[in-house]
Amino acid sequence: MLEIAILSLFPEYFRGPLETSILKRAQEKGAVAIQQVDIRDFTDDKHRRVDDRPYGGGPGMVMMPEPVTKAVQSARRVRSKVIYMSPQGRPLTAEKARSLAQEEHLVLLSGHYEGIDQRVIDREVDEEISIGDYVLTNGCLPALVLIDAVARFLPGVLGHEAAAEEDSFESGILDCPHYTRPVSFMGQEVPKVLQEGNHQKIAQWRYAAALAKTEQTRPDLYRRHLLSGERCSGQQKESALSRCGLATIRLTVASLKESLSFYKRVLGLRVGRKEERYALLSLGSINLVLMEGKLRRSDGPHPVLEVEVENSTEFDRIAHRATRAEVIHYGLREEQLQLLDTLTIELRDPDGYHWCLKCRQS
């Protein structure tokens, strides 16, 4: 059984959602036990005040460290994981929800006002989690979202044990469309393949429909799935990636093994497909196709390959890896790797191709 303690200023906020539908049944079955903790119970102020003006000025109020710390420490156990629901946290994903479902005890800290004193986060919080790139009036709703997402992965919570495994994101893409009776509704019919009972064809149709939906609404997931999945050939992936607006660069390399090692370790490229003499990788706005073969040096120097990196964070990672590789792994000479400025990296790969990486955003 997973135990959860919710620390907030408004315990009554949770009564309706936790006493309804699946979350209510999950508690009745003993799959999860949820405890409410009122942070105001841990203040010595006669008016039960838990917030104050921020140092340095600015709008809003900040929750004081003493009552919040006492509340966390009252709920914490040896194997507890303390999570602060915050827009500054890492995104809540299906993978994270599945991981949290394996914990014994979660302590969810719901912030209010402008947030909580940073010293509480530094001393008491194990992880910050966000449910999206937006700000809400408090952390109660994010805590409920996390509980609901996690509860779905607990044994016995859903009616069908495989339900959580077949939903959106579990295979890296969105879910497929679903239909029920009647067959015909307002001129629209259930696809015939779903009515014929051929389970292999149904599985193929569902995958294709889910992939099409993902390509349309979440091209980021679509691209990631193509680069990591094994359900289509290299040429099919190249074609699909091109439809995503990603250019293709084809390079002949002397050694596929050596080139892959370089691109993975120095540039951090992801390998989407690897065959004996072929590999498909991704970097920024391009997908890179490597074909092992004989290099022709008679054509003169290689052209400069210019690539835009998505953001400054990824650019910094590449710069760091490339700099380390110069000293530790590849022994690149100074003229081969130059940090010309904060937004440009130039280097040569093992086959002599000249790369110029530029950051799209500062």
Model pLDDT for residues 167-212, shown as the tens digit of each residue: 656 667 888 889 999 999 999 999 998 999 999 888 888 888 888 8
**pLDDT at residue number 234:** 54
Residue 293, pLDDT score: 87
Q: What is the mean pLDDT of the chain?
A: 82
Q: Are residues 142 and 240 part of one domain?
A: no
Tell me whether residue 152 is one of the annotated catalytic residues.
Answer: yes
Residues 218/174, Cβ–Cβ less than 8 Å: yes
Mean pLDDT of 59-88: 96
| Model confidence band, residue 215 (pLDDT cutoffs 50, 70, 90) | confident
Which of 167, 175, 258, 314 is catalytic? The answer is 167
How large is the average pLDDT for residues 310-317?
Answer: 69
Statement to judge: residues 240 and 353 lie in one domain: yes
Each residue of 268-307: pLDDT tens digit? 777 877 888 888 887 655 678 888 888 765 555 566 677 7
Inside any domain, residue 35: yes
Is 214 contained in some domain? no
| SS3 state at 194 | helix
What CATH number does residue 44 fall under?
A: 3.40.1280.10
**Does residue 311 lie within any of the structural domains?**
yes
The pLDDT confidence band at residue 77, using thresholds 50, 70 and 90, is very high
Predicted local confidence at residue 266, as pLDDT: 77
Q: Indicate the residue among 151, 176, 211 that finishes a domain.
A: 151
Residue 68 lies inside a defined structural domain of this protein: yes
pLDDT over 90, % of the chain: 45
Please name the amino acid found at residue 234: G
Domain extent, residue 244, equals: 234-359
Q: What is the pLDDT of residue 333?
A: 42
The active-site residue, picked from 152, 206, 223, 273, is: 152
Residue 237 has pLDDT above 80, yes or no: no
Number of domains in the chain: 2
Domain boundary residue, one of 117, 151, 185 = 151
Q: Which of 202, 195, 243, 208 is nearest to 223 (CA)?
A: 243
- The pLDDT tens digits for 323-361 are 665 523 333 444 444 554 446 777 778 888 877 777 755
- Whole-angstrom Cα distance, residue 23 to residue 148? 7
Would residue 144 count as lying in a domain?
Answer: yes
111-120, pLDDT tens digit by residue? 998 899 999 9
Q: How high is the pLDDT of residue 92?
A: 95
For residue 110, the 8-state DSSP code is E
Asked if 19 and 146 sit in the same domain, the reply is yes
Per-residue pLDDT averaged across 28-50, rounded? 95
Regarding whether 13 and 119 lie in a shared domain, the answer is: yes
Pairing relation of β-strands 270-274 and 278-283? antiparallel
Which of these, 107, 122, 117, 31, lies nearest to 68 by C-alpha position? 117
Respond yes or no: is residue 310 known to be catalytic: no
pLDDT at 79: 94
What's 339's domain CATH number? 3.10.180.10
Mean pLDDT of 80-96: 94
* Nearest residue to 127 (alpha-carbon basis) of 98, 78, 92: 92
The pTM (predicted TM-score) of the whole model is: 0.66
148 flagged as catalytic: no
Q: Are residues 29 and 136 in the same domain?
A: yes
Residue 8 pLDDT greater than 80, yes or no = yes
Residue 217 lies in a domain: no
> Residue 212 domain-assigned?
no
**Residue from 3, 66, 114, 292 carrying the catalytic annotation:** 114
- Residues in a beta bridge with 283: 286
349 as an active site residue: the answer is no
Catalytic residue from among 17, 48, 54, 87? 87
Using the 3D structure, point to which of 151, 181, 206 is the last residue of a domain. Answer: 151
Residue 351 lies in a domain: yes
